[in-house]
Chains A and B, each alone.
Chain A
């Protein structure tokens, strides 16, 4: 049972480069979300989706785009990476109407 799978685990980008962080879940969860975790800041919500075709902004959406074409996948796109986006990114999923979140192992992103 894979749960929530994130790729890559580590990534180094140069300022201005673009990339996509991948997230897939095999639990048929309707709700998926992306967080960033920074020292002293806790987990901050970037974007979330309540189902295929539906996305919405979280607390810190600037510089990030998302789409949800299938129930399983929820990629996070950085269009033009900035050093301020250096962070650990977590994807999470949960069933509609439930509060228990299942997290991926994270992607550690460094922007130089």
Chain B
């Protein structure tokens, strides 16, 4: 079983601060995704990274895929209360043919205080 370890598990910061959350594994993934989940809602995809070393930016969010495709990080610049939520990473591995198995981390619960 491939495990994705996310850290920290909880993070509470003030508006305007920067933060980084991590997603680590001992397994190689075909791609890695980040989702954000707000209370009472389902996870919503933020980004998919595919290539080792890839960096993607989504406004104030920067996502990086490790060179070996085993880990990823999410950096948020100048966090805002609207960034509050549960951030989940998910690694994809080919399970045969064109099928992929997704493994989810347990998430980082981010609270941004005004």
Q: B33 contacts which of A31, A43, A100 (Cβ < 8 Å)?
A: A100
Chain A residues closer than 8 Å to B107, beta-carbon distance = 42
Once bound together, how far apart are the Cα atoms of A105 and B37, in whole Å?
10
Once bound together, how far apart are the Cα atoms of A19 and B92, in whole Å?
32
The verdict on A53 contacting chain B, using a C-beta distance below 8 Å, is no
Interface residues of B: mostly helix, strand, loop or mixed? strand
B9 — nearest CB in chain A belongs to which residue? A40
Tally of A-B residue pairs with Cβ under 8 A?
52
Question: How many of chain B's residues touch chain A, expressed as a range?
Answer: 20 to 34
Q: Are A42 and B105 in contact (CB under 8 A)?
A: yes
Task: Contacts A97-B98, A99-B30 given; indicate if A104 touches B48 (C-beta within 8 A).
Answer: no
Q: Are A42 and B106 in contact (CB under 8 A)?
A: yes
The verdict on A2 contacting chain B, using a C-beta distance below 8 Å, is no
Q: B45 contacts which of A40, A42, A102 (Cβ < 8 Å)?
A: A102
The 0/1 profile, CB within 8 Å of B marked 1, for residues 68-112 of chain A is 000000000000000000000010100011111111111000000
The verdict on B40 contacting chain A, using a C-beta distance below 8 Å, is yes
Once bound together, how far apart are the Cα atoms of A100 and B31, in whole Å?
10
Once bound together, how far apart are the Cα atoms of A13 and B92, in whole Å?
35
Q: Are B40 and A106 in contact (CB under 8 A)?
A: yes
Once bound together, how far apart are the Cα atoms of A97 and B94, in whole Å?
9
Task: Contacts A96-B98, A99-B31, A99-B48 given; indicate if A40 touches B42 (C-beta within 8 A).
Answer: no
Q: How far is the CB of B19 from chain A (nearest CB, A)?
A: 20
Q: A99 contacts which of B40, B43, B44, B102 (Cβ < 8 Å)?
A: B102
Once bound together, how far apart are the Cα atoms of A97 and B88, in whole Å?
21
Task: Contacts A40-B106, A42-B107, A50-B99 given; indicate if A103 touches B48 (C-beta within 8 A).
Answer: no
Chain A residues closer than 8 Å to B42, beta-carbon distance = 4, 90, 92, 103-106
Task: Contacts A100-B48, A103-B44 given; indicate if A42 touches B99 (C-beta within 8 A).
Answer: no
The verdict on A12 contacting chain B, using a C-beta distance below 8 Å, is no
Q: Are B41 and A105 in contact (CB under 8 A)?
A: yes
Q: Are B102 and A41 in contact (CB under 8 A)?
A: no
Q: Which residues of B contact A (CB under 8 A)?
A: 30-31, 33, 35, 40-45, 48, 88, 90, 92, 98-100, 102, 104-107
